[in-house]
Amino acid sequence: MADIDSRLDKTQAQPIGVTTGPIRGSRKIHVASPTGSGIRVAMREILLEPSSGEPPVRVYDTSGPYTDANAAIDINAGLPELRAPWIRARGDVEEVAQREVRPEDNGQLGPDRSGGVPPFPNVRKTVLRARPGANVSQMHYARRGIITPEMEYVAERENLGRARLSEYKRDGESFGASIPDYVTPEFVRDEVARGRAIIPSNINHPESEPMAIGRNFLVKINANIGNSAVASDVAAEVDKMVWSIRWGADTVMDLSTGRNIHDTREWIIRNSPVPIGTVPIYQALEKVGGIAEDLTWEIFADTLIEQAEQGVDYFTIHAGVRLPYVPLAAKRMTGIVSRGGSIMAKWCLAHHKESFLYERFDEITEIMKAYDVAYSLGDGLRPGSIYDANDEAQFAELYTLGELTKRAWAQDVQVMIEGPGHVPMHKIKENMEKQLEACGEAPFYTLGPLTTDIAPGYDHITSGIGAAQIGWYGTAMLCYVTPKEHLGLPDRDDVKVGVVTYKLAAHAADLAKGHPAAQVRDDALSKARFEFRWRDQFNLSLDPDTAEQYHDQTLPAEGAKTAHFCSMCGPKFCSMKISQEVREFAKLQNQDSADFIAAEEAEKGMAQMSEVYEETGRELYMGSGGREHD
Amino acid sequence: MADIDSRLDKTQAQPIGVTTGPIRGSRKIHVASPTGSGIRVAMREILLEPSSGEPPVRVYDTSGPYTDANAAIDINAGLPELRAPWIRARGDVEEVAQREVRPEDNGQLGPDRSGGVPPFPNVRKTVLRARPGANVSQMHYARRGIITPEMEYVAERENLGRARLSEYKRDGESFGASIPDYVTPEFVRDEVARGRAIIPSNINHPESEPMAIGRNFLVKINANIGNSAVASDVAAEVDKMVWSIRWGADTVMDLSTGRNIHDTREWIIRNSPVPIGTVPIYQALEKVGGIAEDLTWEIFADTLIEQAEQGVDYFTIHAGVRLPYVPLAAKRMTGIVSRGGSIMAKWCLAHHKESFLYERFDEITEIMKAYDVAYSLGDGLRPGSIYDANDEAQFAELYTLGELTKRAWAQDVQVMIEGPGHVPMHKIKENMEKQLEACGEAPFYTLGPLTTDIAPGYDHITSGIGAAQIGWYGTAMLCYVTPKEHLGLPDRDDVKVGVVTYKLAAHAADLAKGHPAAQVRDDALSKARFEFRWRDQFNLSLDPDTAEQYHDQTLPAEGAKTAHFCSMCGPKFCSMKISQEVREFAKLQNQDSADFIAAEEAEKGMAQMSEVYEETGRELYMGSGGREHD
C-alpha cells in the first residue's frame, strides 16, 4: 500500500501495532442527532478540492475512534464506553461478579495461563446482567414502544445527511423492501419491534457504536478474524479487527479456535466499536478436547454465559441441524461444510439423539435476553458446492430456523438468519424468497453466495457476484470471503481485498434497491472524474491508497494529478476532454455562436501536459486499461 | 506466480519471450469431428489423480498452439494457417497484391520506418479478397445453406464431449435463449444465418481457430491489448496476446494508438489463434495528425482496407453516433466516454454534418463482406457513470444500431452490438431486453457493466458483477475490465486478473443459463475438494498457479497436498472430514450396524497430519479464510 498510516505508538509502555489515523482525504465528524438528545453520531467526511465548489461527501463510517485524529488510542485500556450511561439509565440491569476464568476457557488443560496471550489488563471485575425477570433486548424495548438511544443513533447514522437529498429521484427495484426517504428513530423502533431489523448490542459491550442489520437499511458486511493455535501477538489480533473496520466491516466475527480463546476475545471486544459475533460451539468443543460426542448442554450453556459476560453481540447457533436432516446431507456432493453444523451432526449421530441446541432452544434464549445477545441462526446444512445448492437438506433446515425465529421472538430476542454458501445465480432468488417467507422477514445474513466452484484464489469475486445479487434481493448483511477462501489463511492484504470487495457489492445492492443516500457518492466521484479532479477521485473511492498507487504506477509526477488526461488514452485520445469541448460547443450553439470551441487552444494545453505524459518510459498497454474499450 | 512456464526459447536465432508450455496439470488434445471430415478441434484436458478413478475433464481452450507441448513456436514465422485450405476450397477468393504500407500507416510523417518495431519478417506479398461479386462472409454461406468447416469446428468445440452428459438435468433460467442439449454443425449454421451468432473469420487471418459469439453458445470474453507510443519490444506485445489467451480470452482487441500501429498489428495477427478486433478510427485519426475534424471518408475507407487485408476479424464502427444525438450527451454527468464516440461527435459538430460512418454505412459493408470482417457496432454514447445509465442518448444510439444491423444483414455481413458501460444492477436487464428487441437478437458484446462508480482499483469486480448478470440475461461476449480501469495501464498481472475475473463471470452466466456442459467442471472440482485431492482442486481451477501458491503460503510441505484437512480449520475442525464420517455412518446404519465410525482411527490419522500442520509457525487468521464462516 502506498502510505497506509500504520504507525507504532512509541509513547506506549507496550508498543501497539494497530492502524490509526484518518483515511486519506477524510476527517472524522460527529453529527448531533436532530432530536437534541445530545447523541452525536460518528461519520466520515470526504473533503473535495476547494476550487471545485463541491460540498464534502459524508459516508457511513465503521472505523470507530481509530480514524479520529483527535482520539487517543490505547488498546491496553480499551475504547470509551459510549453506551454505558444509556444502558444504566434504563434501570433494568444489575452488576454481578464476572464468572471466573478457568484454564479450559483458554484451551489449557492445566492452570497455566501462559499460552502467549496475556490477560487483558483492564479486565472488568463485574459485569452487567438483566435484573431477575427483566429483558434488556432492543426488541423488548421496541415492542413496548420505547425508542432507545441506540435506535436514535442508528437513525441518524443511516441518514448520512439524507435530509438534503430530497431532489434525488429514486428508481431502484427493492423487491418488496420498505426503505423510507428518511429514517426516523420511530422507524427504527418499528423495524426492530417487527423483527425486520436487529441492533446487536450486548449490554457488556458498551464500546460499540449502534448499527442496524435489516433489509430496509443500508446493506452491511461482516469480516471474520480469529486467533490460531500458534498466534501469540495479541496486538496483531486486535489490529486485524481494526484493519477490517477501517475499510468498512460493519461487524466482525471472532472465529478463534485453539488456545487463548477467552483472553483473545477479551482484547478484541474491549477494543471494538463494532458488534462482535462468535460461534460458541467452537469454544465448547475446545473444552471437551475436540471430541464432538463429549459435548454437553452444561458445557455449552456455561460457554454462552462466559461469552455473553464478555460482551459478544451475536451468537451463531446451529440449532437447525436436526437429527432427521443428517441423512439428507449424506447424499450430497460435498456433505456438510459448516464446521458448527458438522460438529452437531456428529453429536446427533453418535448419540442418536435430537440436537440439544434444538431441544433446549428456549433455555438458550433465556440466557441471551439477559444480555441482549442476538441470534445468528446458523445454516449448518448450507450447500458447499453448486451441485448441492437449494437441496432438501438446506431448505429443511431453513424452515426449522423459521420455527426457531418465532420461538426467539416470543421472548423478544433479536434474530438474524445465516444463509449460503455456494449457489448458481439462477437459484439465488429462491433462497431470499424462501427465507423471507420461512423466517417472517428476520434479517438474512449470507456467506457470498459463491456463484461457481471453479475459481479458487478468486472466490472473493465468485462470491461478490452472488453477494451483490442477494443483497439487492433483500439480504441485510453479507459475510465477506477473501481470495484465500478454500486455500489458506488470509493475510492483512487479503482481509482488505475481502472487505473492499464486499463493500462495493453492498453498495451496488444499495444502488439497485434505490436507497436514497447511495448514489451521492457515485455521482460525486463521477463528477470528479469528468472534471479531472484526480485527488477527489482517489479520496472518494473505497480504497484511496490503492487508487492513487495504481494511478502513480504510470504517471507518478505531481503534475499528472491535475492533468486533463490520463495514462490510458493519453492527451490526444481523451474522450472526457473531447466531451467537455462538445459540451462547450453545445452551449455556444444555444448562444447562436457559429464557431466550434477553439480546438487549437485545447491542443496547446494538452501539448503542455503531454510533457508529463512522456516522462513514463515504461511499456504501456495502450487503451486496454482505459475507461474505454474503444 | 508460483512457476509459470515462461521460458525463453534459446534455440531461436532471435530469442522470443512469449509464454509457452502446458497449463499446469493439463494437456492439449485434438478431438476429431464426429462427421469424419478430418477436422480436429483443439481442447484442453485436465488430468486427475489416477487413484481417484475420475476421467479427465475437457475444457474449452483458447490458448492455441502455445500450450501444446508438441508445437514449435516461432513468432517470426507466425502460426500455421489452419483455415487456409478451407478458404481456398470455396473457390470464391482471389489473390491480390497487398496494399503498399505507407509511412502514415505507422504514424510516421517521413519515410523512416525505424520506430522501434521491425516489420514482420514473414509478411505476405499477396492477400485474399472475394472475387468480384462474391461474398465470403460466414453469414452468406449460412444463408445459402452451406455448413462451412468453420461451423463444424465451432460445433465440436462448443460440445466439449457433451454427448456424454445426457444424465445431467438442466435447470437454468435462460431468459428466452435456445441452448440445445447438443450443438450440431447445422445448429451453428442456422444461428449464423439468423444473425444470432457470428464466427469472426477474416479470410486473411487463416491462423485463427473458429469460435462463435452468440447467446446460444458458451459466453465468451474479450481482452484488450495494444501498443503505445513508446513501446519498442514487439515480442512483449505479442506476449500480451499470448498471455491473455492462455488464461481464457476468446478474442483480443488491439487498441493500439500512436506509432508503429500497422507493423505491431501484423505481428499480433500472424501469431494469434483467436479473432482480433480493432477500432479503425484510431488509426485513421493518427493519419490526420490527431485532428478529428480532418478525418475523411477516403482516409477511413483506406484504413479499413489496410486492416482487412492484414486479417482483422472484427471492426468496431461507431456509426450510431449521429449528429442529432450529440446534444443529448451534452446534458450528461460524464458526457461521451467512448473515444471513438467522442471523435465522431467532434467531427459531426465541427462540420455540422451527419456522421460519414452513418451516411456511408453500406459502403463500409461492401468492404467488409469482401474479407468477412464482422461488425462490432460501437456504442459511442454508452454511459460513463451510474447517473447517465439508460438515458436518452444511450438508447437513441442503440435503436440506430438496430437499424444498421438490418442494413448489414441485407448484405449478409455479420454483426455484433457493443453495450455499456456503467449501469446499476436494476437497470441491466433493460439493456439486454432493448438490445434483443432493437437489434433482432444480434449478439450483444458489453463492457462490464460496472455496477457502481465508487471503487477505482477494483473495477474488475464492480464490472464482473454486472458482467455475470448481463451474461446470464443473454450477452454473448463480455469485454474484460482490469483492476487498473480508470487509473492506469494494466501490467501483465492486471491482464491475468482481468481475464480470470471475466472467465469466472462468464462461467457463472453459463451455469445460470443452464448450459449443459458448464457444471461438469464445478462438480469435478467440488468432488476433488471433498475428497482432499488438493492437486486436482488446483488443476481444475481457472488459475492453478495462484490456487497452489495461496495454499502453499500456509502449508508448503508436500505432505499437505494429500492431507485430509487444510490450514483454514485445522485437523480438529474439518467439516468435510467430519462430513465424510457422517456419510460412512449413514452407510453403516443402512447395513444395520450399530456403531459409529471408529472415531479413534480418524483421530489417529489426523494426529499424524497435524505434524504437518504444526510446521507453520506463522500467524494465522484462524477460520476466517476457511470454507466456512461458522
At residue A610, the pLDDT reads 38
How far is residue A12 CA from its own chain's centroid?
Answer: 30
Q: By CA distance, what is A478's nearest residue in B?
A: B629
pLDDT, position A624: 30
Q: Distance between CA atoms of B161 and A464, rounded to whole angstroms?
A: 31
Q: Mention every residue, 6+ apart, whose C-beta is less than 8 A from residue A174.
A: A474, A513, A514
| Contact between chains at B454 and A223 (C-beta distance less than 8 A) | no
Whether the per-residue pLDDT at A236 is higher than 90: the answer is: no
Distance from CA of A390 to the nearest CA of B (A): 12
Q: Which chain B residue has the Cα nearest residue A597?
A: B350
Between chains, do B620 and A507 touch, taking CB under 8 Å as contact? no
Summarize pLDDT for A547-571 with one digit per residue, the tens.
999 998 877 777 777 666 555 555 5
Which candidate in B265, B452, B492 is best for mutational testing of the A interface (most A CBs within 10 A)?
B452
Q: Contacts from A588-597 at CB under 8 Å and sequence distance 24+? A: A589/B327, A596/B293, A596/B349, A596/B350
| Residue B84, H or E segment | helix B84-89
Per-residue CA distances from A594 to A56, B329, B408 (Å): 39, 20, 36
Q: From B89, B82, B90, select the one nearest B30 (Cα to Cα).
A: B82
> What pLDDT was estimated at residue A237?
81
Q: Which of A352-356, A393-397, B333-337 has the lowest mean pLDDT?
A: B333-337
Distance to chain A for B108, nearest Cα, Å: 16
- Test A230 with B483 for CB contact under 8 angstroms: no
3-state secondary structure of B339: helix
Looking at chain A, the whole-number percentage of residues with pLDDT higher than 70 is 84
pLDDT band, very low/low/confident/very high, at A611 (cuts 50, 70, 90): very low
Interface contact A357, partner B, CB < 8 A = no
Mutation target among B487, B565, B592 for the A interface, most CBs of A within 10 A: B487
Torsion angles phi and psi, residue B335, rounded to 5: 55, -135
- In angstroms, the Cα distances linking B501 to A145, A554, B176, B372 are 49, 23, 26, 31
In chain B, what are the helix, strand and coil shares in percent, each to the nearest 5? 45, 10, 45
Helix axis angle, B392-410 to B361-369, nearest 10°: 50
Q: How far is CA A400 from CA A193, A324, A396, B295, in A?
A: 22, 12, 7, 69
pLDDT band at A4 (very low <50, low <70, confident <90, very high): very low
C-alpha–C-alpha distance, residues B99 and B371, integer Å: 14
Which pLDDT belongs to residue B124?
A: 85
Q: Tell if the CB–CB gap between A258 and B222 is shorter than 8 Å.
A: no
Instruction: Say whether B335 and A579 touch across the interface (CB within 8 A).
Output: yes
With cut-offs at 50, 70 and 90, classify the pLDDT of residue B106.
Answer: confident
Above 90 in pLDDT, residue A131? yes
The whole-number pLDDT of residue A628 equals: 44
pLDDT of residue B6: 33
CA distance B577 to chain A (A): 9
Distances in Å between the alpha carbon of A343 and those of A190, A291, A331, A340? 37, 9, 18, 5
| Residue A468 and residue B384 in contact, taking contact as beta carbons nearer than 8 Å | no
pLDDT computed for residue A357 by the predictor: 98
Q: Is the pLDDT of residue B499 over 90?
A: yes
Lowest mean pLDDT among A25-29, A60-64, A221-225, A550-554: A550-554
For the cut 90, the answer to whether the pLDDT of residue B302 exceeds it is yes
CA-CA distance, B272 to B264, in Å (whole number)?
A: 12
pLDDT score, position A159: 93
Q: Quick one: average pLDDT of A533-554? A: 94
What is the pLDDT, as a whole number, of residue B60?
A: 97
pLDDT, position B585: 66
- Note the pLDDT of residue A109: 55
| Those residues with Cβ within 8 angstroms of residue B476's Cβ, 6 or more apart along the chain or in another chain | B197, B213, B214, B215, B217, B219, B220, B416, B443, B444, B445
Of B338, B519, B568, the CB nearest to A630: B338
User: Residue A78 pLDDT > 70, yes or no?
Assistant: yes
What pLDDT does residue A585 have?
65
> What local confidence, expressed as pLDDT, does residue B3 receive?
31
Chain A: nearest CA to B163, how far in angstroms? 20
The order of strands in the sheet holding A57-59 is: A26-32, A40-46, A57-59
Phi/psi of residue A124, nearest 5 degrees: -75, 145
**What sign has the CA pseudo-torsion A291, A238, A379, B605?**
negative
Cβ–Cβ below 8 Å for B455 and A504: yes
* Yes or no, beta carbons of B426 and A501 under 8 Å apart: no
pLDDT at B231 over 50: no
Distance CA A69, CA B627 (A): 37
With CA atoms as reference, report the closest residue to B550 among A177, A289, A490, A363: A490
pLDDT tens digits, residue range A246-304?
999 999 999 988 778 899 999 999 999 999 999 999 999 999 988 999 999 999 999 99
Asked if the Cβ–Cβ distance from B425 to A519 is below 8 Å, we say no
Question: CB within 8 A of B165, min separation 6: which ones?
Answer: B516, B517, B520
Q: Is the ipTM of this complex over 0.95?
A: no
Q: Residue B295: its pLDDT value, please?
A: 97
Task: Please report the residues numbered 39 through 98 in chain B whose beta carbons come closer than 8 angstroms to any beta carbon of chain A.
Answer: none
Name the residue among B132, B126, B287, B90 with its Cα closest to residue B204: B126
Q: Does the pLDDT at position A612 exceed 80?
A: no
Q: Which of residues 203-242 of B touch A (CB under 8 A)?
A: 222-231, 233, 236, 240
Taking CB atoms and an 8 Å limit, are B455 and A543 in contact across chains?
yes
Closest CA to B139 of B424, B322, B408: B408
Distance CA A309, CA A203 (A): 9
pLDDT of B259 reads 79
Q: In the prediction, which pLDDT does A563 show?
A: 66
* pLDDT, chain B, mean: 87
Distance from CA of A428 to the nearest CA of B (A): 10
Whether the pLDDT of residue B227 is over 50: the answer is: yes
Question: Residues B136, B130: contact at Cβ < 8 Å?
Answer: yes
Give the whole-number percent of chain B exceeding pLDDT 90. 72
Do A453 and B546 make contact, defined as CB atoms within 8 angstroms? no
Contacts of B469 in chain A (CB under 8 A): 425, 465, 469
3-state secondary structure of A442: coil
Cα separation, A578 vs A567, in Å, equals 16
Which among A540, A629, A529 is positioned nearest to A579, based on CA atoms? A529
Compute the nearest-CA separation of A545 from chain B (Å): 9
φ, ψ for residue A542 (rounded to 5)?
Answer: -65, -25
| Nine cell digits for residue A570 | 493519453
B292 in Cβ contact with B341 (< 8 Å): no
Are B84 and B127 spatial neighbours (Cβ–Cβ below 8 Å)?
no
Minimal Cβ distance to A424: which of B338, B511, B569: B511
Question: Lowest-pLDDT range, A183-192, B111-120, B379-388?
Answer: B111-120
Ranked by mean pLDDT, which of A512-521, B149-158, B337-346 comes out on top? B149-158
Of the two residues A565 and A82, the one the predictor is more confident about is: A82
Peptide bond into A449 cis (omega under 30): yes
What grid cell was written down for A331?
A: 447424499
pLDDT band, residue A620 (cuts 50/70/90):
very low
Q: Are strands B57-59 and B40-46 parallel, antiparallel or unpaired?
A: antiparallel
Cα B527–B529–B535 angle (5° rounding)? 110
Average pLDDT over residues B483-495: 91
Which of B18, B565, B558 has the alpha carbon at shortest distance from B243? B18
A490, B556 contact by CB (below 8 A):
no
CB B251 within 8 A of CB B277: yes
Distances from the Cα of B345 to the Cα of A475, A539, A576, B335, B355, angstroms: 43, 32, 12, 11, 8
Distance CA B464, CA A469 (A): 12
B573 pLDDT exceeds 60?
no
DSSP A375: E
Q: What is the pLDDT of residue A527?
A: 95
User: Other C-beta atoms within 10 Å of B121: how many?
Assistant: 12
DSSP 3-state of A314: strand
Amino acid at B491: D
**Closest chain A residue to B290, measured at CA:** A572
Say yes or no: A170 contacts chain B, CB-CB below 8 A.
no
Q: Which of A525, A551, A553 sits opposite B453 (nearest CB)?
A: A525
Which amino acid, one-letter code, is at B428?
A: I
Residue A484 near residue A494, CB atoms below 8 Å: yes
The CA distance from A84 to A61, in Å, is: 21
Q: For position A13, what pLDDT does the model report?
A: 41
Segment A303-355, tens digit of pLDDT:
999 999 999 999 999 999 999 999 898 889 999 999 999 999 999 999 999 99
Given CB atoms, is B324 within the 8 Å cutoff of chain A? no
Give yes or no for residue B104 having a pLDDT over 90: no
Asked if the model's pLDDT at residue B230 lies above 60, the reply is no
